[in-house]
């Protein structure tokens, strides 16, 4: 269980950082992180971090796959985690 919690902590921190880096790249005209990679990070357990990253950076909030999909995925992941515990 401890390993799972450490994994989830790490993947959520990484996903949060990915959303914020992508926003920074979007504003500076630099290389972007593909949306596919952001969604994969969310699917791998990082949806809560992705949601917080979206809100913190004001990034990807107008795209329905992110504005609806990431919160639904995050709630699903949290319910699953509670069920496992």
Over residues 21-40, the pLDDT tens digits come to 999 999 998 899 999 999 99
pLDDT > 90: percent of the chain: 85
Average pLDDT, the chain: 94
- Position 1 pLDDT exceeds 90: no
Q: How far is CA 48 from CA 29, 38, 40, in A?
A: 27, 12, 13
DSSP result, 53-65 = HHHHHT-S-SSHH
pLDDT > 70: percent of the chain: 100
Q: What is the mean pLDDT of residues 35-62?
A: 95
- What's the pTM? 0.91
């Amino acid at each position: 269980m401890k390993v799972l919690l450490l994994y989830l902590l790490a993947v959520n921190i990484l996903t949060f950082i990915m959303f914020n880096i992508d926003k920074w790249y979007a504003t500076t005209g630099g290389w972007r992180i593909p949306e596919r990679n952001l969604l994969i990070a969310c699917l791998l357990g990082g949806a809560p971090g992705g949601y917080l990253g979206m809100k913190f950076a004001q990034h990807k909030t107008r795209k329905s796959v992110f504005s609806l999909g990431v919160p639904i995925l995050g709630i699903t992941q949290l319910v699953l985690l509670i069920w496992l515990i």
